[in-house]
Chain A
Amino acid sequence: MPESEKLSVDRRNFLRMAATGAAALVTSAQEGRAEKSGSPGPETPPEMPKDVEILTTDRPGSDFMVDVLKSLGLEYICSNPGSSFRGLHESVVNYGGNKNPEFITCCHEESSVAMAHGYAKIEGKPLGVFAHGTVGLQHAAMAIYNAFCDRVPVYLILGNTLDAEMRRPGAEWYHSVQDAAAMVRDYVKWDDTPISLPHFAESAMRAYKIAMTPPMLPVVLVADSELQERPIPEGVRLRIPKLVLAAPPQGDSGAVAEAARLLVAAENPVLIADRVARTPAGMKYLVELAEALQAPVIDEGGRMNFPTRHPLNHSDRRGALITSADLILGLELGDFWGAVNSMRDQLHRTWRPITKQGVKLISITAADLYTRSNYQDFQRFPEVDLAIAADAEATLPSLIEAVKRLINADRKRAFQDRGTKLAAARQQSMERTRTEATYGWDAGPVSTARLAAEVWPHIKDKDWSLVSGTLSGWPRRLWIFDKHYQHIGGSGGVGVGYGSPAAVGAALANRKYGRLSVNFQNDGDLMYAPGVLWTAAHHRVPLLNIMFNNRAYHQEVMHLQRMSSRHNRGITTAYIGTTIEDPNIDYAKLAQSMGWHAEGPITDPKDLAPAIRRSVELVLRGEPALIDVVTQPR
């Protein structure tokens, strides 16, 4: 496995370097410190006069930490600079050569983590995030929660100074904490505060392995500043433990066989996929299962699970399908209850099942393997008939095999008939979608359907990737998505501010493949931490940002309207506290100020095509470009 090969190479490198002349100076520096703290230090090398204070070292602990991080294959470190990890920062740049990992300068820790979130969904592995254990982590917290809800691995390293005696007065005390990870422990999978370099190495391996085992989730490692900055103590045996990632958990074979039996016997089975396709293989498997059964798929969009134009993609027919299904298979479905029930948001909240009596529900999800108490991301309890606690992608091959074994000639004929009917229904629903797209076609502000349709001809022959932004679902309804990286799902925890940094992170991952990254950027989302635009420009991350600028936190406008309607008063005031007008923000100027090519605001759909053409050309040349489009509210 490439990871372990790389790891042993890096280990050799490190050990070779550790055995060089640096060791003597390490020893001297160690003594300087040891005198202060009163513990006996090793002998001073003979060439150094006794009374000269040793002020330098060639081997700080942070160099070893960088060796450890390199062995993990972290390509980038996203971070605002911070004194509690200045040792690590310097080692990444000078000792590590600022390559694998490369330091990516961020302007907000929430951006760092959300960039890691977007990156991981393209690349299938984490990048690193450095932050202060206190103020940095506080900024980062919401983005960590999003990644947690979205089952995405993020690898955080926090700076902290545990030893009170070593803290500089002032800022370093404010920036120190007893238990740094405590604040986010409810929504990370694992954390540790190593107290020695060997401990750091071991915990770093463990953290990576835990983060990468489904359900994949964020992890936190605290790098004590003394451990970073102190010279590597002589005589310490430093090695990087061997890391082999755990094979993802597959479903119990008996349960998989039962699921296959139910699927093959069902007359109207429906497959609902949410965070299934962790890798391109997940999409391939889901296609294979759906085709074997000729069963319709509803893609919830948590990942790129199913090609949008496949005749079995019936995401637009969910109501009809769910109400008539006799079997529903939920695959990594974040909210199974919500998929089969309807809840009414009126004065008295009511709910009812929307499935027909006797429907069988089967779930396959790794969420059943890991549920925390405090934050309620697990959603309402679904009353399923068969629950398989396993990673869906890893379980699909055995399920497909079991299904294929059970398909006899009779069932095959029945499936073919079903497939023919479904293909026709899919065709009709595509026609309805096109007709819906015509409503408000010439409207200004621009309709979201029109915007999606205008972008498509400029990208469809390129190797594109939609890195964030749903644009009210129109791209996935109108465009042809058939590659895994063309869609990466949403924020997870619906914490606003995810979109712009996740797009930059995903675009960073796409860059080396030469892909054209496209993002529909909500205006409210961008304003949380617009500094990420600067990060993209500074690091030459090519990205086409098209503003979905409805000049509001529009979801909240609707909530306010609902409240005033419900309270029978003030139905003209929903804009107060919810809209982003007066003054209107000039997003083109904002982006230009941070080094982007930018155009707009565009309100007339006729002006879109030339602006998109110009911007796509620039992005293909490696630059970021933004088009501010003022849109209909949804």
Chain B
Amino acid sequence: MVLMVAALILAPAVGAQVFETTPKSEAVPVGNAQNGKRIFTAYGCYQCHGYEGQGAAAAGPRIALPSLALPEFAAYVRQPAGQMPPYTKKVVADSEMADIYAFLQSRPKPPLAKDIPLLND
């Protein structure tokens, strides 16, 4: 039940309307995915978004294969509209943000639900 309560708090607070139509930026700086993987864990992003950025009910949405372009992605992390804790430039440098972004971009596509027998019971 604790989880459910948390989910409720999150649901309306997500600033989805702000971002969902934002187009992918053309000029994405190339980050270092390997370093991104390391700091995704070290800086605690994994805690709410999962080690793979796959998301977790009631903790944080899926951010692997980000739908936001890097500037919008970074803007959200710096100044979240909802429950997410803010990460300012003081603690996550712009270059590190790009690394995280590159890591999330490098995640494999998940299989389709219809191809997983366990999800079709």
Residues of A within 8 A of B (CB): 274, 300-302, 315, 318-319, 322-323, 334-335, 338-339, 342-346, 354, 431, 434-443, 445, 447-448, 453-454, 456-457, 460, 470, 472-474, 477-478, 489-490, 494, 554-555, 557-558, 561-562, 564-566, 568-569, 571-572, 574, 632-634
**Chain B contacts with A in 1-24, Cβ cutoff 8 A:** 1-5, 7-9, 11-13
Instruction: Kindly state whether residue B35 has any CB partner on chain A within 8 Å.
Output: no
Instruction: Kindly state whether residue B86 has any CB partner on chain A within 8 Å.
Output: yes
Q: Which residues of B contact A474 (CB under 8 A)?
A: 57
Q: How far is the CB of B108 from chain A (nearest CB, A)?
A: 8
Pull 8 A–B residue pairs with CB atoms less than 8 Å apart, ordered by A.
A274-B1, A345-B9, A437-B119, A443-B51, A557-B44, A558-B48, A632-B50, A633-B47
Main SS at interface, chain B: loop
Q: Which residues of A contact B54 (CB under 8 A)?
A: 439-440, 443, 447, 632
A479 (CB) vs chain B CBs: closest residue: B121
Contact indicator B91/A565 (Cβ below 8 Å): yes
Interface size class of B (residues with CB under 8 A): 35 or more
Q: In the docked arrangement, what's the CA distance between A474 and B50, Å?
A: 15
Q: In the docked arrangement, what's the CA distance between A318 and B85, Å?
A: 23
Given contacts A440-B54, A633-B47, contact A318 B110 (CB under 8 A): no
Q: In the docked arrangement, what's the CA distance between A283 and B5, Å?
A: 21
Q: How far is the CB of A2 from chain B (nearest CB, A)?
A: 32
Contact indicator A343/B58 (Cβ below 8 Å): no
Instruction: Kindly state whether residue B118 has any CB partner on chain A within 8 Å.
Output: yes
Instruction: Kindly state whether residue B116 has any CB partner on chain A within 8 Å.
Output: yes
Q: Which residues of A contact B58 (CB under 8 A)?
A: 472-473, 634
Q: In the docked arrangement, what's the CA distance between A319 and B13, Å?
A: 10
Q: How far is the CB of A3 from chain B (nearest CB, A)?
A: 31
Q: In the docked arrangement, what's the CA distance between A443 and B52, Å?
A: 7
Partner of B110, one of A334, A441, A477, A478: A441
B48 (CB) vs chain A CBs: closest residue: A558
Instruction: Kindly state whether residue B75 has any CB partner on chain A within 8 Å.
Output: no
Q: Which residues of A contact B4 (CB under 8 A)?
A: 300-301, 315, 473
Partner of B12, one of A323, A441, A555, A574: A323
Q: How far is the CB of B41 from chain A (nearest CB, A)?
A: 10
Contact indicator A571/B43 (Cβ below 8 Å): yes
Q: Which residues of A contact B8 (CB under 8 A)?
A: 318-319, 322, 338-339, 342
Contact indicator A439/B110 (Cβ below 8 Å): yes
Contact indicator B12/A354 (Cβ below 8 Å): yes
Q: Which residues of A contact B108 (CB under 8 A)?
A: 442
Q: How far is the CB of A134 from chain B (nearest CB, A)?
A: 31
Q: Which residues of B contact A634 (CB under 8 A)?
A: 47-48, 50, 56-59
A563 (CB) vs chain B CBs: closest residue: B85
**Chain B contacts with A in 71-121, Cβ cutoff 8 A:** 82-83, 85-88, 90-92, 108, 110-113, 116, 118-121
Q: Which residues of B contact A562 (CB under 8 A)?
A: 85
